[in-house]
């Protein structure tokens, strides 16, 4: 299209309006081309730019409106109706980093054991570096060695993030990286056993706390904590820490030779008890199933503490007979912990596979009475043997190397279901129907009228 000035001798022209862009032009027969009217083209261009600006403004406004709606929706999803009033849901989920539900379920359970959680949240943060990086926090990178990572610090930061209510889900990638560094068994993204992870986690926390952190001995901090008295401490692998003070108990193992009657006793510290599900209940899969009696937690505890005759593969070396003999074994609980962790052995090895026992085990929410399993029950107080449920870890699926882990936990009188990044309010009826894998019971402090198990 030609754009030229008009000459004194006007040529015959034909006026035309473009149907596509609405621009005004004339056709010049001398040039054999359309001539653009500069003035009107500028006006059309300005109108076009104005319309584009209006469209962009409307799009931006709509985008801000949608973002605000999403923020309000996220905020509303964290509001609960309790007794007719609206309260904020401050629980935070944990993002799944790739089959890390086993870790998330354990972390959420431990975060709802108040005495244990509060101890770590009150610890001082990792000390700042000196020199050029003074005033900056220490961050772990893959180029750093094992000595530059702290499980206690990352565990502390994770617990602090879980009940702040400032975010819907927290990513525990820094903690998971430290787990990779110090626990080689859990490297990779395959499914792991939640109970095995819990034991590794507690053991490594215990060892790091024993060694001190940031130049301050954790045993000193533990001694300064008035709620953890000397009588509550149970030493496992050296000095006591908050791990053993809260989860630590003591078993008495009695073995009797069936030939000469010699009795052998020894005391074994524990952080949790692994209970078999009795074989007669293994076909009972649901709570409402009617074929046979219901398996209860008491049945599992009784099976653990009952007198047992050892088979041929477990012959006892009798010091009096000077050879291996048939014998009996019995466990007594010599000291109960503040938090009783009960692991139901749902996975067992067959010839080639590790199968799951999917039996429903009935468990109490309140008033688990452990007095009848004590070595010296007469020396215990009336309330010191009663436990109330704090958290439950559940495995969904058919095998230990597959499936999914979630957790139920009580917080300030309400029950929550933790499914990775999703946290929902639930009720006691839903909790008691769960097929528990790990149960966390907290020693009752105040007298209550709840029924005993």
How far, CA to CA in Å, does 379 sit from each of 213, 241, 291, 371?
A: 38, 25, 41, 10
Report the alpha-carbon distance of residue 75 to residue 415 in Å, rounded: 20
Q: Say if CB 156 and CB 84 are below 8 A apart.
A: no
Phi and psi angles of residue 251, each rounded to the nearest 5 degrees, phi first: -105, 145
Q: Say if CB 195 and CB 438 are below 8 A apart.
A: yes
Q: Please report, in angstroms and rounded to a whole number, the separation of the first and last CA atoms in the chain.
A: 95
Catalytic site positions:
101, 404
Q: Say if CB 330 and CB 246 are below 8 A apart.
A: no
């Amino acid at each position: 299209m030609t754009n030229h000035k008009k000459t004194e001798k006007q040529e015959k022209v034909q006026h035309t309006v473009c149907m596509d862009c609405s621009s005004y032009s004339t056709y010049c027969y001398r040039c054999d081309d359309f001539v653009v009217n500069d003035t009107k083209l500028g006006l059309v261009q300005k109108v076009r730019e104005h319309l584009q600006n209006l469209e962009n403004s409307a799009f931006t406004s709509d985008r801000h409106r949608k973002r605000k709606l999403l923020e309000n929706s996220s905020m509303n999803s964290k509001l609960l109706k309790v007794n007719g009033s609206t309260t904020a849901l401050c629980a935070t989920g944990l993002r799944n980093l790739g089959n890390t539900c086993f870790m998330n379920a354990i972390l959420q359970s431990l975060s709802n054991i108040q005495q244990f959680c509060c101890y770590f949240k009150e610890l001082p943060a990792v000390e700042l570096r000196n020199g050029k990086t003074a005033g900056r926090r220490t961050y772990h990178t893959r180029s750093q060695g094992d000595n530059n990572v702290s499980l206690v610090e990352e565990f502390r930061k994770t617990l602090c993030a879980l009940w702040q209510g400032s975010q819907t889900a927290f990513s525990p990638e820094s903690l998971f990286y430290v787990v990779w560094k110090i626990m080689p068994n859990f490297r990779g993204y395959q499914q792991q056993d939640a109970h095995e992870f819990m034991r590794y986690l507690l053991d490594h926390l215990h060892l790091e706390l024993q060694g001190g952190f940031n130049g301050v001995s954790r045993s000193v901090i533990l001694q300064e904590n008035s709620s953890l008295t000397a009588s509550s401490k149970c030493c496992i692998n050296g000095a006591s820490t908050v791990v053993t003070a809260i989860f630590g108990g003591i078993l008495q193992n009695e073995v009797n030779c069936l030939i000469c009657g010699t009795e052998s006793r020894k005391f074994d510290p524990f952080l949790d008890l692994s209970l078999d599900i009795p074989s007669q209940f293994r076909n009972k899969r649901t709570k409402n199933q009617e074929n046979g009696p219901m398996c209860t937690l008491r049945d599992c505890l009784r099976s653990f503490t009952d007198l047992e005759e050892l088979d041929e593969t477990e012959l006892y070396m009798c010091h009096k007979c000077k050879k291996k003999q048939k014998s009996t074994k019995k466990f007594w609980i010599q000291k109960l912990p503040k938090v009783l962790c009960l692991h139901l052995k749902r996975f067992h090895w067959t010839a080639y596979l590790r199968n799951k026992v999917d039996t429903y085990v009935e468990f109490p929410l309140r008033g688990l009475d452990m007095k009848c399993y004590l070595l010296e029950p007469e020396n215990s107080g009336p309330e010191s043997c009663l436990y109330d449920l704090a958290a439950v870890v559940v495995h969904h699926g058919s095998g230990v190397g597959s499936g999914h882990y979630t957790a139920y936990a009580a917080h300030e009188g309400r029950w929550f279901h933790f499914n990775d990044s999703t946290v929902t309010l639930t009720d006691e009826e839903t909790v008691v129907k769960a097929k528990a894998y790990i149960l966390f019971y907290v020693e009752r402090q105040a007298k209550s009228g709840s029924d005993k198990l």
